[in-house]
Amino acid sequence: MTNVLRLAIVDPDDSKRETLKNMLLGMDMIWLEAECSRYEFFADVVAQTNPDIGLVALDSDPDKALELVARLSENSPLCAVLVTSSVSDGQLILRAMRSGAKEFLTHPVRIDDLLGALGRIAERRAGPGDNRPRGSQVLAIAGSLGGVGTTSLAVNLACILAQNPKNSVALVDLDLCLGDADVFLDAIPDYTLVDVAQNVTRLDFSLLKRSLTKHSSGVYLLPRPVQLEDMALITADDLRRVIGLLKATFTHLVLDLSKGYSPIDLVALEMASHILLVTQLDLPCLRNVVRLMSSFNEMDGIADKVKIVVNRAGLESGHITLKKAEETIGKEVFWQLPNDYRTMIDARNNGVPLVEQSPKAAVTQSIAALAAALFSEEKAPAAEAAVKRSGLGSLLKLWPAKAKG
Ligand SMILES: Nc1ncnc2c1ncn2[C@@H]1O[C@H](COP(=O)(O)OP(=O)(O)OP(=O)(O)O)[C@@H](O)[C@H]1O
Ligand SMILES: [Mg+2]
């Protein structure tokens, strides 16, 4: 957790401090180093614990609190001071800034504002260019044709990532109309994307986690709305906020896109760190890959994030060779997932992810190796050995020896 910000807080008002503390405790990006109820002790607390951020609530005694801010700026210059107050008048903000505060937040603190402030502080610490306060990875799984295997990959990749205890993973079903990620995980969720999107500004992080359905694999699922008509309640801006909030809470977000390339899907593409474009080696799929890549090239910053994943590699029936496919697309294929209909359909019908249902199957191992190639920290669980053990050595050639970017 190299990008975690260590924070110390002072607020003589116990209930306000508790509320703020609860909000902060739900955020993986924050490590609460110390809390204090007296302004006069806080400078010592900061000197001893050296937090990255000192949060000073002004309301109980603004003069005393601002004196403290000035002392902190002088004695602990590496600690960025963030102040909160229910009075947002210009004079107070000016005094706070002149005393050395780096950020001013109005009480009650909104999660969006807090995230923005923490992001700016993290950026100032890391230098420009990295506005992510922590290394949350957003994976958008898109497809070139219906039924190409997008959800199979999204669900199983999320479950494999969640096996690593260092990871916290959320899976969001953005196929708002017909999404079936819940079926793959045999989950009956209490809340859906529409509930979270509509309450995004009011949610704190623990409430957010409670709104998601935790699967036994460790994955938190945020499913599509139940009613078709509720789709319209989710706007692109809502989704941007939801993804922002999830990024502050989870190390990995896996977004299963629809094939409609709607404004919602475009937000996912825009906010993704990697886009896996799933295709099969047949004419309709590859023609769409070419069309999609041509549109992505017209969009800012999308095409470079795309990695082509060939699904059901090895499936006979009028297939185009990998070489021909790469020539047609004008881009290397990043990964190939072997064809294994029986294993895949059994996992889906039982509502059990591949890591639980068929951990040794070549397709499971291939998805694990894909996770490893995407995030070097992930260990492919002895993918090669498992394939050799199961006598599927010939499938190894379906996987690139080295991932190509
Ligand atoms: N590698 C694979 N080998 C064999 N069958 C597969 C493979 N991947 C997926 N399938 C099968 O293909 C079918 C469609 O998969 P899936 O639902 O994941 O596709 P999708 O792209 O999400 O579809 P939709 O467009 O409806 O969202 C399923 O029956 C699934 O079991
Ligand atoms: Mg799907």
Q: What is the pLDDT of residues 102-137, one digit of tens each?
A: 999 998 888 878 888 988 888 787 665 444 444 689
**Torsion sign, CA atoms 159, 276, 172, 228:** negative
Q: Which residues contact 127 (CB under 8 A, 6 or more apart)?
A: none
Q: Best substitution site from 178, 340, 341 to test ligand 1's pocket, by max atoms within 8 Å of Cβ?
A: 341
DSSP state of 319: P
Q: For ligand 1, say whether the CB of 41 is within 6 Å of any of its atoms.
A: no
Nearest listed ligand to the Cα of residue 348: 1
Q: How many CB atoms lie within 10 A of CB 15?
A: 8
**pLDDT tens profile 212-270:** 999 999 999 999 999 999 999 999 988 998 998 888 889 999 999 999 999 999 999 99
For the record, the structure tokens of 47 come out as 């000197």
Q: For ligand 1, say whether the CB of 150 is within 6 Å of any of its atoms.
A: yes
Q: For ligand 1, say whether the CB of 260 is within 6 Å of any of its atoms.
A: no
Q: For ligand 1, say whether the CB of 344 is within 6 Å of any of its atoms.
A: yes
Rounded-to-integer distance, Cα 177 and Cα 36, Å: 49
Distinct helix (H) and strand (E) counts, the chain: 17, 13
Rounded-to-integer distance, Cα 302 and Cα 298, Å: 8
Beta strands in 229-288 (DSSP E): 252-256, 274-279
Q: Which residues surround ligand 2, an ion (CB under 5 A)?
A: 150-151
Q: Best substitution site from 152, 278, 363 to test ligand 1's pocket, by max atoms within 8 Å of Cβ?
A: 152
- Residue 70 φ then ψ, to 5°: -65, -40
What pLDDT, on a 0 to 100 scale, did the predictor assign at position 377? 54
DSSP state of 304: G
Q: For ligand 1, say whether the CB of 147 is within 6 Å of any of its atoms.
A: yes
What pLDDT, on a 0 to 100 scale, did the predictor assign at position 114? 87
| Residue type at 385 in one-letter notation | A
Nearest listed ligand to the Cα of residue 153: 1
Among 8-17, 232-241, 288-297, 351-360, name the one with the lowest average pLDDT: 232-241
User: What is the distance in A from the centroid of ligand 2 to the CA of 189?
Assistant: 18
* Cβ-contact 173, 254 below 8 angstroms: no
**pLDDT tens profile 361-400:** 999 999 999 999 999 755 444 343 333 333 333 333 334 4
Q: For ligand 1, say whether the CB of 177 is within 6 Å of any of its atoms.
A: no
Rounded-to-integer distance, Cα 355 and Cα 159, Å: 7
Nearest ligand 1 atom, CA 146: 25
Strands 30-36 and 103-106: unpaired
Rounded-to-integer distance, Cα 211 and Cα 196, Å: 7
Rounded-to-integer distance, Cα 162 and Cα 179, Å: 21
Q: What is the reported pTM?
A: 0.76
The protein residue with its alpha carbon nearest to ligand 1, atom 29, reads 345
